[in-house]
């Protein structure tokens, strides 16, 4: 068609020296094909190791997050905690004061005295009743008062334990208006919600503590990738900001999908690192073994702009540049994910960039 339209020998020479471009297609002369040294291959299904790339963040199990509050409320008198501070299990982290602590201790000690009196009366009436020296009614009344006193003392004992007072050590000489709060875990302080002098109600949280001994990596995995994963599978987690890599192992795979069709996969770090903190975003690479894929030699794939392409021979000396999406790479082979248009087609290996140069030159001449 070009020969007819141009109608001259000079035009014929132009046609011979420049490729004809139609969209992403290009036609070369026989001489150009020979000079490019083109070789061809076709897609082959092979088993290839691939890398599944995921992302998520560091998390801790619910039992490792502790909210500290005081069941009876009170005024915060002392604390030196700051966010990020490390604490030990049993360490006193705050003290509170309130009149109700004094009242509770007083009630307990008075109940203890009353129990002793009612117990003595109960024992005496029991002996009298057994010899019919007292009526059953009097004995039953003494028994009821004794049991009531036991119940009252037990309830007050439990109330003392709620605010950290050991009733076995409490006596009339050591009643205190102040109670201490101790850390129930080893860990660090994530939040401080109170200041000195503030009155805290039972529903308020003073501090939040985190036990980092069992931190784990929480990854988000799409439904289509779930069959590729298994408990005990190894992976490597990393943070792009630090460049450090951390070996991990999958310990739990979620069984429910979100609206976005993904689920959570929990992984355990092989070794704890203090630089890993809850909430930190992480990337992860999971090597998948023996995955069947449509592959081609890496030299067949060329990069043009921000995309990857291969050249397919449509017929002799005529080629089409087709955009591809690549996947795993191993031993010089690359996985082609969108392979439907390429199956059975001859794909250019050696010389693909030469064809690309011809194609670009043709576009510039236009």
Residues in the chain: 366
Under the phi-then-psi rule, with left for phi > 0, alpha for psi from -120 to 50, and beta for the rest, what region is 83? beta
Q: Based on the domain organization, do 38 and 156 belong to the same domain?
A: no
Q: What is the pLDDT of residue 149?
A: 95
- In terms of domains, do 86 and 205 share one? yes
206 and 71 both lie in a single domain = yes
Same domain, 149 and 251: no
Give the pLDDT confidence of 108-149 residue by residue, as tens digits. Answer: 999 999 999 999 999 999 889 888 887 889 999 999 999 999
Domain with 270, as residue range(s), is 52-63+211-290
Assess contact for 94 and 120: CB atoms under 8 A. Answer: no
Average model confidence (pLDDT) across the chain: 85
Same domain membership, residue 222 and residue 190: no
* Residue 99 in this model has a pLDDT that exceeds 90: yes
Indicate if 216 and 110 belong to the same structural domain.
no
Q: SS3 of 249, please?
A: strand
> Which of 290, 309, 333 marks a domain boundary?
290
277 in the same domain as 174: no
pLDDT 10s digits, 44-83: 888 877 788 899 999 888 788 899 998 888 999 999 999 8
Q: Give percent of the chain with pLDDT exceeding 70.
A: 92
Alpha helices in the chain (DSSP H): 2-6, 9-17, 30-36, 99-130, 136-162, 352-365
Residues 154 and 180 in one domain: yes
Query: pLDDT by residue (tens digit) across 27-50?
Result: 888 888 888 888 899 998 888 777
Q: How many CB atoms lie within 10 A of CB 147?
A: 12
Residues 141 and 227 in one domain: no
Q: What's the rounded Cα separation, in Å, for the pair 110 and 76?
A: 28
Token pair 């976005």 is found at: 260
Q: Do the beta carbons of residue 65 and residue 208 sit within 8 Å?
A: yes
Which CATH number does the domain housing residue 358 bear?
Answer: 2.40.420.20
Claim to verify: residue 137 and residue 228 sit in the same structural domain: no
pTM of the model: 0.55
Q: 75 — phi, psi (to 5°)?
A: -90, 130
What is the per-residue pLDDT for 63? Answer: 80
Average pLDDT rounded to a whole number, residues 7-12: 38
Say how many domains are in the chain.
Answer: 3
From 290, 316, 345, the end of a domain falls on 290
Q: Which of 210, 230, 260 is the last residue of a domain?
A: 210
């Amino acid at each position: 068609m070009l020969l007819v339209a141009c109608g001259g020998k000079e035009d014929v020479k132009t046609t011979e020296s420049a490729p004809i471009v139609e969209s992403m297609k290009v036609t070369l002369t026989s001489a150009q094909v020979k000079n490019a040294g083109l070789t061809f291959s076709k897609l082959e299904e092979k088993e290839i190791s691939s890398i599944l790339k995921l992302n998520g963040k560091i998390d801790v199990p619910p039992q490792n997050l502790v909210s500290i509050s005081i069941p009876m409320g009170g005024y915060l008198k002392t604390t030196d905690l700051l966010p990020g501070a490390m604490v030990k299990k049993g360490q006193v982290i705050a003290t509170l004061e309130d009149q109700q602590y004094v009242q509770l201790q007083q009630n307990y000690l008075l109940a203890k005295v009353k129990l002793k009196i009612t117990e003595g009366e109960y024992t005496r009436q029991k002996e009298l009743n057994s010899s019919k020296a007292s009526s059953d009614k009097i004995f039953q009344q003494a028994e009821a008062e004794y049991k009531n006193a036991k119940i009252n003392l037990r309830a007050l004992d439990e109330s003392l334990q709620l605010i950290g007072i050991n009733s076995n050590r409490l006596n009339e000489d050591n009643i205190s208006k102040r109670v201490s709060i101790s850390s129930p875990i080893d860990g660090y302080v994530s939040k401080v919600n109170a200041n000195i002098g503030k009155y805290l109600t039972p529903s308020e949280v003073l501090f939040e503590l985190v036990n980092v001994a069992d931190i784990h990596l929480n990854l988000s995995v799409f439904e289509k990738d779930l069959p590729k994963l298994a408990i005990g599978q190894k992976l490597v987690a990393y943070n792009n900001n630090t460049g450090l890599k951390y070996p991990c192992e999958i310990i739990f795979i979620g069984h429910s999908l979100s609206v976005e069709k993904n689920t959570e996969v929990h992984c355990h770090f092989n070794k704890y690192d203090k630089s890993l903190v809850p909430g930190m975003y992480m990337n992860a690479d999971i090597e998948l073994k023996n995955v069947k894929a449509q592959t081609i030699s890496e030299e067949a794939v060329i990069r043009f702009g921000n995309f990857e392409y291969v050249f397919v021979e449509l017929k002799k000396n005529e080629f089409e540049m087709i955009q591809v999406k690549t996947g795993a790479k191993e031993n010089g082979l690359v996985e082609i994910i969108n392979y439907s248009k390429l199956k059975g087609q001859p794909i250019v290996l050696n010389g693909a960039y030469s064809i690309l140069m011809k194609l670009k030159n043709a576009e510039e001449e236009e």
